[in-house]
Every structure is written in C-alpha cells, then in structure tokens.
Amino acid sequence: MDRIWAPWRMEYVSSTTAKGEKKCFLCVDGSDDDKCLVVGRKGSAFVIMNRFPYSNGHVMVVPTRHTGLLEELTDDELFDMMALVKIMTLIFKEEFNVDGLNVGINVGRAAGAGLEDHIHIHMVPRWFGDANFVAVIGETRVISEHIDETYRKLKNKFIEKIL
C-alpha cells in the first residue's frame, strides 16, 4: 500500500463548528486571508488557493455568500466572480507562462462537486507536457512548487493588477 504524508489535511478533516457540524472551508471572513490562502478579493467574491491542487497554482473563485446554487447568485456576485476569473487568467499568463487553463464549475454531486454547499469556479493552469508518465503510471500528481511560494507569487501579482 502506498502512503502519502499530508499533515495539512488534518485541519480540513477536523474542521467543525461548535455544534459539531462540518465547517465550510470556503466561508472565509477576511480576517485570516493569508492563513486561508486567499489570493485576493473583489466586491462580493474572492480567489483562494486549492490546498489539494490538480496542478501548480490551482485556485477557486468563490462568492463570499454561502450558497451552493448557481441560480441563487446575484448578478453582482456573478459579475465579481467572472471579473476575478479574468484577472487570474492574466496573472497566470504573465506570472506562470501557462499554455492554457481549465475553468469550470461542478454543480451538484453528480457533476463532480466535492463541496456542493458553496459554489465555486475552479481555475487549473495547464502546460504542454504537464500530464506525464508519473500521473499515468504512478497515479500521482507532481506539484512542482511549494504552495506557500505559489501563493506569494499569485498574491503579489493580484495586488499589482488591482492597484
């Protein structure tokens, strides 16, 4: 059996409210943005790093308000989310020299939503050759840079773009 050492998952696994309910890890109030890896905010939405990325730089664009239904989002929330997708696209092109991006929303468990209760847009940077034999044969993804370093780069570039 293969084992992967991932001590950072314990925070996610053990996160509960005072009532013992599972806490939504996307409900981030702004007081701990660096700890939660929030890249930046715009209006009623924000960008947060995915702690379990498909590739280096994988982020999620999230409405501040907790809702799992796309049809419940206001026009302002949708606008702010798409504005952030545009900003992050520019950042990925300039800072990470990406060859492409996967941008998607999984609505409902049947569509692959791991978290149904708080809708979000995934942005996954892609490069030619990023899916190689390690993923195919070893069923393992290789993330080439520490998440803290990637976060620093994205956050600094985000601040540059917003100002």
Which active-site residues does the annotation give?
120
Distance CA 100, CA 67 (A): 29
Q: Where are the beta strands (DSSP E) in 64-146?
A: 100-104, 121-126
Tracing tokens 């049809």 back to the chain, one arrives at 71
Query: DSSP of 119-161, one letter per residue?
Result: --EEEEEE-TT-S-HHHHHS------S-HHHHHHHHHHHHHHH
Q: DSSP code of 155?
A: H
